[in-house]
Structure 1
């Protein structure tokens, strides 16, 4: 938990003040933190548009990793050719979205660092907490081909579940479908 004592001559929006103090904080991350009651202004939850002024106290219930401006790790490519990229997504980052650190942004940064065009489109998604391989298309033809192959189940997805402790029985195969 970080506690900030606001020191400014004129009132300023809380979101702007926090992003000035912690450049790693994006609007997406701030909105999520507010929804999860991790930002308190003078002990109360307030909208990010609230103006803070000299003497106010802001408590942030965020980790140092969320607040620090650490360099974004490069994406790890398992395979790349002229049409597709297969990237290894670590657990804990989103594939896409408003956050500053997403798999798509990592892929684009790696392509830019190599002097290649940065156009890469997701063909499917994995949950933030899930690690695994993600297909990205570098062209519209590759995107159409991959999405059609996924839709027709020509590309098979497999998931591995890691458990802690000793399962009983020690080995098993579970086949089921997700329902909405």
Structure 2
């Protein structure tokens, strides 16, 4: 990878997009390709100045600050060219502070772990004029549905706090194997993250895990499967998939925690993906406090599969 030939001192005026950001995180983003160890070294040496003064790595930038960045040899990355433009995302809600899109299944929310790009990289490519676009939360690659992206750092900070405090109401629709009987059921079981021998991330119910709380509401039941809505009170990795699988109701099409033999039959019947969709969101706007409630209908392929189930299985009531 080539290096830029003549690094020089740069001066950057901080705007609203970076107000409140720590100087070390700002430099990591601004000096892409430079090892973090080198960035912390120049911070400690005092070569980075804010308004002509030395600052430590915890300093939070203020709008109007002038940051002096010393000459740093940065690896040139043709990264933007590697991220395809892709189809425009379906935007469910947007204002000056945030947007909510309906993520398609099969697309990661961000690059990493063997994935070169995701939703956020494509969104930045599609909107080169946007000064700030950051994920507020995540969805699994195979999960479709509502995903919040902040357009201002001030909105991101508040939304992250709201997520931690359980003030963002998230509801998912999923089709599970088995006859779910209870109209409403709370599942409170701790979830523990671990790596398999092959290095894959997995989650299991374990007393050593972190507290996790899901609320399951029955929507429709057939002879062999059930459509349920799951409200997340906590946001643990793979929470819905592990809670329901552990209860004996694996998600249709789940390739990690599901019924693998059943999944093969389902694929032949037309289900080519995991049946999990982030269908509803509710939260107070991070800057105006206005209530926002959003809904994304089941994608056509999942709606079509419900039709297949209806044709081949008798619906149950109660």
Please give the TM-score of this superposition, normalised by the length of structure 2.
0.30
Q: 1:97 and 2:108 equivalent?
A: no
Greater RCO (Cα-Cα under 8 Å, separation 6 or more): 1
- Counterpart for residue 124 of structure 1: 137
* Contact 1:74–1:109, Cα closer than 8 Å, also in 2: no
Q: 1:72 and 2:83 equivalent?
A: no
* Contact 1:109–1:118, Cα closer than 8 Å, also in 2: no
Among 123, 142, 163, the residue aligned to 1:107: 123
Count of aligned residue pairs for this structure pair? 107
* Contact 1:75–1:110, Cα closer than 8 Å, also in 2: no
1:106-132 residue CA offsets vs partner (Å, 9 max, x unmatched): 3223323xxx41521011101111111
Decide whether aligned partners of structure 1 residues 145 and 158 sit closer, same or farther in structure 2, where only a CA change above 3 A counts.
same
- The 1-side partners of 2:87 and 2:109 are apart by 14
- Counterpart for residue 61 of structure 1: none
- Counterpart for residue 168 of structure 1: 179
Name whichever structure is richer in strand by fraction. 2
Please give the TM-score of this superposition, normalised by the length of structure 1.
0.51
Among 51, 70, 85, the residue aligned to 2:99: 85
- The 1-side partners of 2:87 and 2:131 are apart by 16
Structure 1: unaligned runs, 5 residues or longer: 1-68
Structure 2: unaligned runs, 5 residues or longer: 1-82, 193-318
- The 1-side partners of 2:153 and 2:85 are apart by 30
Task: Give the 3-state SS of the residue equivalent to 2:147 in structure 1.
Answer: strand
CA RMSD of aligned residues (A): 2.6
- The 2-side partners of 1:121 and 1:138 are apart by 7
Does 137-146 or 71-80 show the bigger shift? 71-80
